[in-house]
Amino acid sequence: MELERHTYDVVVVGAGGAGLRAAIEAHESGARTAVVCKSLLGKAHTVMAEGGIAAAMANLYPEDNWRVHFRDTMRGGKMLNHWRMAQLHAQEAPDRVRELEDWGALFDRTPDGLISQRDFGGHRYARLAHVGDRTGLELIRTLQQRTVALGIDVYMECTVTRLLTDEGGITGAFGYWRESGRFVAWQAPSVVLATGGIGKSYKVTSNSWEYTGDGHSLALQAGASLVNMEFVQFHPTGMVWPPSVRGILVTESVRGDGGILKNSAGNRFMFDYIPDFFRKETAETEAEADRWYDDKKNNRRPPELLPRDEVARAINSEVKAGRGTPHGGVFLDIASRRSAEYIRKRLPSMYHQFKELAEVDITAEPMEVGPTCHYVMGGVEVDPDTEAARVSGLFAAGEVAGGMHGSNRLGGNSLSDLLVFGRRAGAAAAEHARGRHGLELPDEALADAARAALAPFDREGGENPYTVQHDLQQTMHDLVGIIRTAPEMEQALERIAALKERVANLSVEGHRQYNPGWHLALDLPHMLVVSECIARAALERQESRGGHTRDDFPATDAEWAKTNLICTQAADGSVALTRQPLPQMPSDLAGIFEETA
């Protein structure tokens, strides 16, 4: 077997914000570091992030500090977040943003010359450091340029198909070059997973093809655990028309900058959907909501800026009640509320996106929007301080890691999550690698990985991977979507079992050179196992909370409020589900919720 081999201290899988930040930190900690990514460098899904990076820098509101940010994050996640992660995140985010400036990032400025911050759903103060509505691009480009400046090796268009382990933990990773189909093995005592999310298992999603849950699935296979996979965030505002762009993200900044939601009757319906949990901090009248943009002290926030799960459910209900737009969404209107010049300045890429893709001028007419699968809160269970998974030498950061966001993520907390925990994972991975040399990759394990990767070529007359993917997406969309019931999820699990058998019989045409059909055939098992985890956990959690809404259990439940659901891989390869108590926060942190409530 022809195989290219490399030796490193730390191999980072994924080159989005978390992966690059981890690689930079590992490199600066003295580790020989490589980044492996499925796309070209700089194309990772982080570029799609629009609104900003949440960090309590207090550049606009001196009242803001990490404790307020911590509180907002925990409340947004309906208190199911790992308290320690939320704490570290809130404390360290400002420094992570500032250091981006040292690497060349150019954020929008306040009149004092500091980094400007904008309003977002669930954040008490204007807190999101941003560059127009292309903050993710700024983040990835800055980290990319830093990575290149440091001379870190990057394996572009290279897919990891397996993590290699022995009884002591991680020994490396195995993958293939997408371009040539040739195999590569990296020998490394530390592997950082930063592979992002799972959105491609859903039909309507804001995620790109890369989001096939590779990291979740690789971690499971290596013996790590996933936490709270049932929590999938549906972003309230995705495009709904034309069909080919359905699901593409419409940034929350539209609402942060003054946009409102209306149904087909022209009503600003969000006032009808304010939950008790947020009633005290949400405006009751349109007048108060409108005053809030300029005077945050004496007014409460508009209901359009409730956390995403609330807004997504509200939109879903309006459409189901027959008050939707012609294309099955609701109206998002900023045209009638802000000047055309302001809109073009603050939301340039939204303007461009609607103009080019939907022939809608958002400075003159409302947008049609609806929920779209956006983010998975669940992920690899990690130690909050080091991002270490249950397997020695395995680390996870960013969307692939779980716990930080609880049952629902606030907008803007994702980019800061990438930076804070990417850095921590990189440092811990470098530390773990110290002194661990002379690992062996057994030929047998490599040969087995290669055999598995080539299997779809050996089968003839099997099914087309595109059809299977389509059926999986339809299943998840219809049966494990935004509103869930037990019978539907049971049905979904049956279908997933059937799909597993079909995946075992896929065949692909052509040869190994840049063959998308083959690539998809290798991604599908990941998508299936992750979908199974989501469906199983969602069936088990008999309550509604954050990104998990059960039609048959519509209320939150005090017992479930203290319970995490953990997925592992059983000896026979199936998904095993167990309950685990939620770590309890110390009393000084718990006090924060009383003082500011």
What part of residues 426-465 is at the interface with other proteins (CB under 8 A)? 464-465
The active-site residue out of 118, 162, 255, 313 is 255
In single-letter form, the type of residue at position 78 comes to K
Among 10, 12, 23, 47, binds other proteins (CB under 8 A): 47
Nearer to other proteins, 248 or 389 (CB): 248
Nearer to other proteins, 114 or 483 (CB): 114
Please list every residue from 130 through 169 that binds other proteins, using CB under 8 A: 131-132, 134, 137-138, 141, 145-149, 151-158
Query: Is residue 360 at the binding interface for other proteins, with CB under 8 A as the rule?
Result: no
How many residues sit in the footprint of other proteins (CB under 8 A)?
85
The active-site residue out of 27, 130, 235, 338 is 235
Nearer to other proteins, 372 or 475 (CB): 372
Query: Is residue 356 at the binding interface for other proteins, with CB under 8 A as the rule?
Result: yes
Print the binding letters for residues 84-123 with other proteins: x by CB under 8 A, - otherwise: --------------x--xxxx-xxxx--xxxx--------
Please list every residue from 218 through 277 that binds other proteins, using CB under 8 A: 241-245, 248-249
Q: In the numeric block, which tokens belong to residue 171?
A: 């020994």
Closest-CA residue to 229 (of 257, 197, 251):
197
Distances (CA, A) of 76 to 28, 41, 121, 257: 34, 32, 9, 20
Nearer to other proteins, 209 or 277 (CB): 209
d(CA 494, CA 466): 20
Query: Is residue 354 at the binding interface for other proteins, with CB under 8 A as the rule?
Result: no
Distances (CA, A) of 45 to 65, 402, 442: 29, 18, 34
Q: Please give the distance of CA 294 from its chain centroid, rounded to a whole number.
A: 31
Among 82, 124, 127, 178, binds other proteins (CB under 8 A): 178
d(CA 336, CA 385): 47
Please list every residue from 191 through 220 that binds other proteins, using CB under 8 A: 208-210
Q: How far is the CB of 6 from other proteins (least distance, A)?
A: 6
Sign of CA dihedral 203, 207, 211, 216: negative
In single-letter form, the type of residue at position 74 comes to M
Task: Count Cβ atoms below 10 Å from residue 440 Cβ, excluding itself.
Answer: 11
d(CA 338, CA 331): 15
Q: Which residues pair with 164 in a beta bridge?
A: 172
Q: Which stretch binds other proteins (CB under 8 A): 33-41, 269-277, 528-536, 566-574?
A: 33-41
Q: How far is the CB of 184 from other proteins (least distance, A)?
A: 7
Q: How far is the CB of 243 from other proteins (least distance, A)?
A: 6
Query: Is residue 344 at the binding interface for other proteins, with CB under 8 A as the rule?
Result: no
Nearer to other proteins, 35 or 404 (CB): 35
DSSP 50: -
Q: How far is the CB of 570 from other proteins (least distance, A)?
A: 33
Nearer to other proteins, 485 or 515 (CB): 515
**Can you say whether residue 394 is alpha, beta or left, with left for phi > 0 and alpha for psi between -120 and 50 degrees?**
beta
Q: In the numeric block, which tokens belong to residue 76?
A: 């947004």
d(CA 4, CA 175): 10
Q: Which stretch binds other proteins (CB under 8 A): 1-9, 122-130, 329-337, 566-574?
A: 1-9
Please list every residue from 524 through 563 that binds other proteins, using CB under 8 A: none
Nearer to other proteins, 149 or 590 (CB): 149
Nearer to other proteins, 365 or 552 (CB): 365
Q: How far is the CB of 516 from other proteins (least distance, A)?
A: 6
Print the binding letters for residues 466-505 with other proteins: x by CB under 8 A, - otherwise: xx--x-----------------------------------
Backbone angles phi, psi at 147, to 5 degrees: -60, -45
In single-letter form, the type of residue at position 495 comes to R
Query: Is residue 377 at the binding interface for other proteins, with CB under 8 A as the rule?
Result: no
Query: Is residue 597 at the binding interface for other proteins, with CB under 8 A as the rule?
Result: no
Query: Is residue 289 at the binding interface for other proteins, with CB under 8 A as the rule?
Result: no
Query: Is residue 65 at the binding interface for other proteins, with CB under 8 A as the rule?
Result: no
Nearer to other proteins, 177 or 269 (CB): 177
**Cis amide linkage into residue 242, ω under 30° from 0:** yes
Query: Is residue 177 at the binding interface for other proteins, with CB under 8 A as the rule?
Result: yes
Sign of CA dihedral 447, 453, 457, 461: positive
Query: Is residue 593 at the binding interface for other proteins, with CB under 8 A as the rule?
Result: no
Pairing of strands 128-129, 394-396: unpaired
Nearer to other proteins, 143 or 219 (CB): 143
Q: How far is the CB of 583 from other proteins (least distance, A)?
A: 32
Annotated active-site residue 337? The verdict is no
Q: Give the H or E element holding residue 183.
A: strand 183-187
The owner of tokens 């440091």 is: 150
Q: How far is the CB of 505 from other proteins (least distance, A)?
A: 15
DSSP 480: S
Structural contact between residues 267 and 291, judged by C-beta atoms closer than 8 angstroms: no
- Residue 387 burial by CB count (10 A; 0-12/13-18/19+): exposed, middle or buried? buried
Closest-CA residue to 379 (of 414, 403, 413, 395):
403
Query: Is residue 577 at the binding interface for other proteins, with CB under 8 A as the rule?
Result: no
In single-letter form, the type of residue at position 442 comes to P
Sign of CA dihedral 165, 208, 412, 529: negative
Annotated active-site residue 541? The verdict is no
Catalytic residues: 235, 255
